[in-house]
Amino acid sequence: MSDFLPRMEIYCPECEWEPPSSATWTCECGHSWHTFDTHGRCPECGTVWRETQCHECRAWSPHHDWYHDLPPVDVDAVTEGQEAPLTEGGHHRSRLRSGARLRGPGAPDRFPAVTTATARAPRRVLP
């Protein structure tokens, strides 16, 4: 590797915990994987996770804030076309198929929820 390329470091922007290669995160679709292997994109369903929860301090932070010593990334350009389409009322249409069971963030019957100071959807807390 060239001496001119910066060494990429991945760690929590809040507590500086460095996720080992054995750490996994679970998508709404139920697939578990190491989120930093795919830059937050679920390899099973293609959902792009803009926020990642730290296993150590439990804080949610923008996924791109975990990457250090990298040039800035235009997250909107990377995730273009990955958002659910808008309905006539201007709301994002659900990705769930008819008869599908809600899983993951926002499923209060299965997981305790955490909300942030801004009006965001509840997030699933890691066990």
The residue among 46, 12, 51 whose CA lies nearest residue 31 is 46
pTM for the whole structure: 0.52
pLDDT digits (tens, 9 = 90+) for 54-110: 999 999 999 989 998 766 666 677 666 555 445 455 444 333 333 333 344 443 333
Please state, in angstroms and rounded to a whole number, the distance separating the CA atoms of residues 40 and 25: 10
pLDDT digits (tens, 9 = 90+) for 1-48: 455 555 679 999 999 999 999 999 999 999 999 999 999 999 999 999
DSSP string, 78-112: HTTT-SPPB-TTSPBPP-PPTTPPP-STT-TTTS-
Domain boundaries, the chain: 1-110
Which letter does DSSP use for residue 118 in this model?
S
